[in-house]
Amino acid sequence: AIWIHDGRGERSLSSEGDIVSDISPPSFGAHDRVLYYLLQRGADRAGPELWRTTVNTGKSEAVFPGVSMVAFDISPDDKQVVFSGAMRGGPTQLWLAPLDRSSPARRIGGSSETRPHFGPNGQILFQAIEGNFNYLEQMNPDGSRRSKVIPYPIVAIQGISPERRWV
């Protein structure tokens, strides 16, 4: 569950299912007015969906109903989301979508990519699997200029600093 404590007291923001926070913990948007989180509703669902709650009103909604996500990150300007998702047990893939739903999500990576984050200069940072190893890689939002950030394997990306300078 997610609870908010403010001048009005304490209240739950997530009574519609289970919060999935093992890879992507809940995160506030740029001005702390909206909280984004992955919500699993019922055992028969394909996977967790991205939800948002407006903190001052408590209004909650699915951002992309029916789209299952493994991990996500909201852009610093609150206009886009980058996420990883898997289609029915297949490898994870990276997607980029506008939060206002003005256009559909578009696939920006190959396969076996997860844990995406927006980087300090607009690039997408993510974890890529090559054989038995994970690597920290980056690419432009259109999927171009893909490269390893560091040449050696990593265990897993745990998070990114608020200023997006440290992974």
pLDDT digits (tens, 9 = 90+) for 107-119: 998 888 999 999 9
Amino acid 15: pLDDT:
62
Q: How much is the pLDDT for 30?
A: 84
Residues pairing with 61 in the sheet: 52
Give the model confidence (pLDDT) of 91-104 as tens digits.
Answer: 789 999 999 999 99
User: How open is the CA angle 138-108-130, to the nearest 5 degrees?
Assistant: 55
Length of the chain: 167
Return the pLDDT at 57.
83
Whether the per-residue pLDDT at 75 is higher than 90: the answer is yes
Ranges of beta strands (E only) in 64-131 are 71-74, 80-86, 92-98, 106-107, 113-118, 124-130
Q: Which residues on adjacent β-strands are paired with residue 133? A: 130
* In the chain, % of residues over pLDDT 70: 95
DSSP 67: -
Q: Tell me what pLDDT residue 161 has.
A: 87
Provide the token pair at 130.
């090559």
pLDDT at 11: 78
Indicate if the pLDDT at residue 43 is higher than 70.
no
| Pairwise pLDDT comparison (118 vs 4), residue with the higher score | 118
Specify whether the CB–CB gap between 106 and 96 falls below 8 A. yes
Return the higher-pLDDT residue of 140 and 22. 140
β-strand 27-28 against 18-20: which pairing, if any?
unpaired
**Residues 17-39, buried b or exposed e (16+ Cβ, 10 A)?**
bebbeebbebeebeeeebbbbbb
User: pTM of the full predicted structure?
Assistant: 0.89
